[in-house]
C-alpha cells in the first residue's frame, strides 16, 4: 500500500506540473510525509476535458494558487463561461442576468432562511421578510388566497426552495403522500393514525384507503421518477405490474405503460389517464396526479382543468372525492382522496404574463388556467432560474394552508417550525427574486412574455423554411404556446456551441434524436439567424446510421 502511494505521489499536479508530494508547504509535511492521500491516478486523465479550461490550470494544490496562477485560471474559466452564455439556447433558463451591481454586497453577508418562512426565530441573519413578499407576489399571481394565515385553511402556504422545481416536486409529493395516507395535518395535530370513523363504513374506506397511487405522463421531468422512488410512492405502473400483471386496462394482456401516454404535442392524454385512474379508484386507492405546466422537452401544457374535473368525477363514484379520516385522538375530518400537483417549473413563472398579454390583445393565445383558480389544484411549483433568471437554482413551492402535512419533528433549536425540505435554506435566492420582481412591473413582464412568444414563433417559422429549403424532414415542431422548438439533432459541435439539449422521441414507431431550442429572453433573432445559417451548411445534419 505504502509503496503504491509513493508512486502515485509523483503525479504532476497544478498549474506548474509539480509532482503531487511537492505541492505542500512546510507545516503540512510531518516526518517527510505530506498530509492526506495522494492521487491514485492522474485526475487529468480521469475526468472529461473542457478544452477551454485545461484541468491542470484549475487544480487545487494544498498551497492554493498564487496571484498569477489564480488570475490566469479565473480568466480561462470566465472566458469559457462568457462564450457559452452568449450562445446558450437549449434550455429553459434565462442567462441574461443583472444582479451584480446591486447585490454584490450580499456575497459577503450570510443569509439563511432556516425553518418556516413565517416564523423568524432566533436565526436573525435571514431574508424571510423578503421571502414573504416574494411568496405573496406569487400567491396573487397564481390566484391563491393571501396573505398566509395559519388559521385560514384556504389561505396559501409556501416557501422559497433551495433547489429548483425538483425540490418542489419532491416536497409536493411528500405532502400528497402524507395527506392521502391519512397522516396528521399541520392544522390538526393528532396522533399518527390510520383509522377511519368507527361504528360505520365511511366513504372512501377499504383495504387500500391509505395506499396512494401516482400518475404522471411520459413527458414528465425525471425528478418525478426520483421523487416517487425516494418517497416510496407506488406508481400505477409499479402497482399494476405487480398486483394486476394481466389487467392493463389500456390494452388487456399487454404490459402496463411506465407512464401515462401523452398526445403528440406532449400533453397528458386525459382519456387514457381516466381509464387508469378508474382502475385504481375503483379498487379504493387514493389518487395522486402530477401534471406539467410546460413539460421539459416539448414545453407542453397539460389540461389541468380537464384532468382535475375528470379525476374528481371518477373519485366521487368511489367515495374518494371527500372522505373522513380520523386518528386516535381528535375528531373526524374531511379530506379529499385525491391530490393534484402541478409542476410549473417554467410555465408557472411565464404563462400568467402571457395570459395578461392575451387579454390585452398582444398575443393570440395563452394556455388554460393551471393555478389556484382551480379548487382541485393542491400544490404547485416553479423554478426561479427558468423564466425569471437567477444565477443558481431556486424556486417556489405553494399549497393551501389546510392541506399542509404536520412537520416531522421538533425544531426548537432554530426557533421556527421545520416545515421545509432543507434544513439551512439559501436566503440569497429570496433576495434575488425580490430584486427582480421589484424592478419589473407586470407590464414589463407582459411585454417580455409576448416578445419571447414571438421569438419562438419566429424560430419555428425559420426552421420550417430551412426544412423546405433543404428538402429534408427535420421534424420541426412547436407545441402550442410553448417557448421551445424541437428539430432533428445537428452535428455535435453545433449542439455544443448553442448548448442544445437532446432527447430521443419515439414517433411513427421510430426512435428519433431530437434537440430543442428555448426562446428565453436573452435570445435574439440575430442569434437564431446565426444558428439557422450554421444549420444550412452541408453536413450540419449527419445522415443517420
Ligand X SMILES: *Cc1c(COP(=O)(O)O)cnc(C)c1O
Q: Does 483 bind ligand X (CB under 6 A)?
A: no
Shortest approach of ligand X to residue 192 CB, angstroms? 30
Q: What is the largest CA-CA distance in the chain?
A: 80
Q: Residues 70-109 vs ligand X: string with x where CB under 6 A?
A: ----------------------x-----------------
* Least Cβ distance, residue 272 to ligand X (angstroms): 20
Q: Do the Cβ atoms of 236 and 214 come closer than 8 Å?
A: yes
Strands 379-383 and 338-343: what pairing? Answer: parallel
434: cell is 425580490
CB of 544 to ligand X, least distance (A): 27
Q: Are 409 and 417 in contact (CB under 8 A)?
A: no
Question: Of 95, 296, 419, 499, which lies in the binding site for ligand X, with binding defined by CB under 6 A?
Answer: 296
Q: How far apart are the first and last CA of the chain?
A: 48
Judged by CB under 6 A, the stretch of 265-273, 290-298, 422-430, 446-454 that binds ligand X is: 290-298
Cα(201)–Cα(41) distance, integer angstroms: 67
| Among positions 166, 196, 217, 351, the unique one binding ligand X when judged by CB under 6 A | 166
- Residue 484 as a binder of ligand X (CB under 6 A): the answer is no
| Nearest CA among 377, 375, 372 for reference residue 340 | 377
State yes or no: residue 401 binds ligand X (CB under 6 A). Answer: no
CB nearest ligand X: which residue? 164
Q: Map the footprint of ligand X across residues 302-361, applying CB under 6 A.
A: 343, 345-346
What does the per-residue mask of binding to ligand X show for 145-164, with x meaning CB under 6 A?
------------------xx
Q: What is the 3-state secondary structure (H, E, C) of 162-213?
A: CCCHHHHHHHHHHHHHHHHCCCCECCECCCCCCCCCCCCCCCCCCCCCCCCE
Contact (CB, 8 A) for 191 and 327: yes
- Of 221-240, binders to ligand X (CB under 6 A) are 221, 223
Kindly state the cell numbers that stand for 60.
487545487
Closer CB to ligand X, residue 118 or residue 301? 301
- Beta bridge partners, 382, equal 396
Is 319 or 347 the residue whose CB approaches ligand X more closely? Answer: 347
Question: According to CB under 6 A, which one of 126, 292, 401, 404 is a site residue for ligand X?
Answer: 292
Angle at which helix 427-439 crosses helix 128-141, to 10 degrees, equals 50
Residues in 182-221 at the binding interface with ligand X, rule: CB under 6 A: 221
- Does 165 interact with ligand X (rule: CB under 6 A)? yes
When asked if residue 295 is in the footprint of ligand X (CB under 6 A), the reply is yes
- Here the cell at position 322 is 371527500
- Binding-site ranges for ligand X (CB under 6 A): 92, 163-166, 221, 223, 292, 294-296, 343, 345-346, 383, 393, 395
Amino acid at each position: 500500500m505504502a509503496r503504491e502511494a509513493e508512486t502515485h505521489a509523483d503525479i504532476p499536479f497544478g498549474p506548474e506540473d509539480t509532482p503531487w508530494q511537492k505541492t505542500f508547504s512546510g507545516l503540512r509535511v510531518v516526518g517527510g510525509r505530506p498530509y492526506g492521500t495522494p492521487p491514485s491516478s492522474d485526475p487529468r486523465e480521469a475526468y472529461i476535458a473542457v478544452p477551454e479550461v485545461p484541468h491542470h490550470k484549475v487544480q487545487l494544490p494544498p498551497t492554493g494558487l498564487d496571484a498569477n496562477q489564480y488570475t490566469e485560471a479565473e480568466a480561462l474559466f470566465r472566458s469559457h463561461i462568457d462564450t457559452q452564455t452568449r450562445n446558450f439556447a437549449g434550455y429553459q433558463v434565462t442567462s441574461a442576468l443583472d444582479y451584480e451591481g446591486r447585490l454584490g454586497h450580499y456575497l459577503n453577508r450570510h443569509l439563511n432562511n432556516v425553518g418556516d418562512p413565517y416564523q423568524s426565530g432566533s436565526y436573525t441573519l435571514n431574508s424571510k421578510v423578503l421571502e414573504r413578499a416574494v411568496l405573496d407576489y406569487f400567491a396573487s399571481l397564481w390566484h391563491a388566497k393571501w396573505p398566509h394565515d395559519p388559521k385560514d385553511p384556504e389561505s396559501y402556504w409556501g416557501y422559497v426552495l433551495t433547489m429548483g422545481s425538483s425540490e418542489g416536486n419532491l416536497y409536493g409529493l411528500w405532502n400528497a403522500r402524507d395527506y392521502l395516507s391519512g397522516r396528521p395535518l399541520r392544522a390538526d395535530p393528532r396522533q399518527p393514525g390510520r383509522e377511519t370513523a368507527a361504528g360505520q363504513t365511511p366513504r372512501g374506506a377499504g383495504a387500500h384507503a391509505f395506499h396512494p397511487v401516482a400518475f404522471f405522463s411520459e413527458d414528465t421531468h425525471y425528478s418525478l421518477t426520483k421523487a416517487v422512488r425516494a418517497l416510496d410512492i407506488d406508481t400505477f405502473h409499479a402497482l399494476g405490474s405487480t398486483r394486476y400483471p394481466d389487467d392493463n386496462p389500456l390494452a388487456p394482456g399487454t404490459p402496463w405503460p411506465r407512464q401515462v401516454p401523452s398526445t403528440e404535442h406532449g400533453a397528458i392524454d386525459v382519456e387514457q389517464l381516466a381509464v387508469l385512474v378508474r382502475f385504481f379508484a375503483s379498487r379504493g386507492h387514493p389518487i395522486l396526479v402530477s401534471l406539467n405546466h410546460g413539460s421539459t422537452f416539448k414545453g407542453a401544457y397539460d389540461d389541468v382543468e380537464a384532468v382535475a374535473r375528470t379525476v374528481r368525477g371518477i373519485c366521487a363514484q368511489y367515495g374518494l372525492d371527500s372522505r373522513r379520516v380520523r386518528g386516535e385522538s381528535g375528531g373526524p375530518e374531511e379530506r379529499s382522496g385525491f391530490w393534484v400537483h402541478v409542476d410549473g417549473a417554467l410555465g408557472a413563472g411565464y404563462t400568467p404574463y402571457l395570459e395578461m398579454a392575451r387579454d390585452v390583445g398582444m398575443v393570440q393565445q395563452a394556455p388554460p388556467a393551471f393555478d389556484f383558480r382551480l379548487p382541485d389544484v393542491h400544490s404547485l411549483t416553479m423554478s426561479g432560474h427558468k423564466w425569471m433568471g437567477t444565477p443558481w437554482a431556486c424556486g417556489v413551492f405553494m399549497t393551501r394552508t389546510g392541506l399542509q402535512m404536520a412537520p416531522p419533528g421538533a425544531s426548537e433549536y432554530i426557533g421556527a417550525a421545520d416545515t421545509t425540505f432543507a434544513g439551512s435554506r439559501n436566503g440569497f435566492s429570496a433576495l434575488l427574486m425580490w430584486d427582480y420582481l421589484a424592478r419589473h412591473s407586470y407590464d414589463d413582464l407582459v411585454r417580455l412574455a409576448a416578445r419571447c412568444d414571438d421569438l419562438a414563433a419566429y424560430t419555428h417559422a425559420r426552421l420550417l423554411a430551412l426544412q423546405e429549403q433543404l428538402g429534408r424532414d427535420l421534424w420541426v415542431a412547436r407545441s402550442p404556446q410553448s417557448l421551445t422548438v424541437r428539430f432533428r439533432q445537428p452535428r455535435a459541435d453545433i449542439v455544443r456551441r448553442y448548448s442544445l439539449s437532446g432527447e430521443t422521441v419515439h414517433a411513427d414507431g421510430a426512435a428519433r434524436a431530437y434537440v430543442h431550442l428555448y426562446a428565453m429572453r436573452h435570445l435574439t433573432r440575430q442569434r437564431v439567424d446565426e444558428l439557422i445559417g450554421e444549420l444550412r451548411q452541408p453536413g450540419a445534419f449527419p445522415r443517420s446510421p
